[in-house]
Amino acid sequence: MDTNARSIAKAISYRVLGSLSTGAIVFGATKSAKYSLGATVADAVIKLGLYFIHERIWNHIPFGRQPDKAPEYEI
């Protein structure tokens, strides 16, 4: 299971890429740095929170997980 810190780090790195692409699309459509920056910030804040919640919920769902294997021997 991921820690809260790992989920936060993953969410931030993912959102940086996603938000930059959103900002680029908005800038391409509007040619306005003001609208592009606003859309980038809003996108990052909203989706960062949603991604974190999504990750934490999936940590409680066993679907697709392999059970931890016991070590073959102990010293």
Residue 19 amino acid letter? S
Which pLDDT does position 37 carry in this prediction?
Answer: 96
On whether the pTM is more than 0.75, the answer is no
Residues with Cβ within 8 Å of residue 48, at least 6 apart in sequence? 11, 12, 15
Read off the pLDDT of residues 2-34 as tens digits, 9 standing for 90 and up. 788 898 888 788 888 999 999 999 999 999 999
Distance CA 22, CA 11 (A): 16
Rounded to a whole number, what is the largest CA-CA distance in the chain? 65
Residues with Cβ within 8 Å of residue 33, at least 6 apart in sequence? 27
